[in-house]
Amino acid sequence: MQVISEIRHDDGVLEREFTLGEIPGTLWTPGSTPAPLVLMAHNNGLPRNQSRLVARARQSAAYGYAVATIDAPGCGDRPRSAADEKARADIRRAMQAGEPVDEIFESFIGPLVEKAVPEWRTTLDALLVLPEIGGPVGYSGWTAVGIRLAVTEPRIAAAGLFAGGYVPRAQREEARQVSIPLLFLLQWDDEGNPRQRALDLFDAFGTKEKTLHANMGGHVGTPYFEVEDGNRFFGRHLK
């Protein structure tokens, strides 16, 4: 793990850009350490420097968590293949034309999840040896990757998942095997993410300790207090 740059923010949070082989990432650590770690990913591989994710990560770090994110293959700062570019163009075209996008998402997001999950586990290996990180690990954000990690990575103790994003069929099946505590966050009128599908997924999760929070509005309308609720959720489980 190679640190590329670091900034100490006014609230005491240390922000470090790093690379781990070809994986670029960011780690935010609070003023007081060792801190429990939260892996934070955006649905469908949105770039790790996306402003909403960065704001969320910094707020959770100021609250007392170490927060890490990486770019998925072909996303953010990473090179895109011709196939990636074509898939993205297909999605944009279908959405603009109001055509069904499920099959295009399935063929793009399905393999992306398969590639992203081993990289998150590699990142976890590298982060857990740092002295400023301690305790059990939480996961936050991208639902499909979270499901996969929850059923394959025993070091993940709790997950906060955001319903607004395509969940491939394989992960919808795997949801029944999830047994860690979950907080599932739904935007009630999320354009392009059918509400009933999200409710069905919540129902399917195998864990007994799962909570759904639903708020009004579209995909990007999650109210600020849900970040606090997420921090408190992790506070109950990362001890």
Q: Among 7, 93, 103, 188, which residue sits at the site for its own copies (rule: CB under 8 A)?
A: 188
Q: Among 7, 89, 211, 220, which residue sits at the site for its own copies (rule: CB under 8 A)?
A: 211
Of the listed pieces 83-91, 156-164, 168-176, 209-217, which binds its own copies according to CB under 8 A?
209-217
Q: Which two tokens stand for residue 48?
A: 């790790």
Q: Which two tokens stand for residue 40?
A: 């934070």
Q: Examine residue 204 and tell whether it contacts its own copies (CB under 8 A).
A: no
Cβ-contact 48, 70 below 8 angstroms? yes
Write down the least CB distance from residue 233 to its own copies, Å: 8
Write down the least CB distance from residue 236 to its own copies, Å: 7
How is the chain split among helix, strand and coil, in percent rounded to 5?
40, 25, 30
Q: Among 130, 155, 214, 219, which residue sits at the site for its own copies (rule: CB under 8 A)?
A: 214
**Closer residue to its own copies (CB): 97 or 216:** 216
Classify residue 34 by its DSSP letter: S
Cβ-contact 114, 131 below 8 angstroms? no
Long-range contacts of 97-101 (CB under 8 A, 24+ apart): 101/166, 101/192
Q: Which parts of this chain interact with its own copies (CB under 8 A)? A: 188, 199, 202-203, 208-217, 223, 225, 228-229, 232, 236
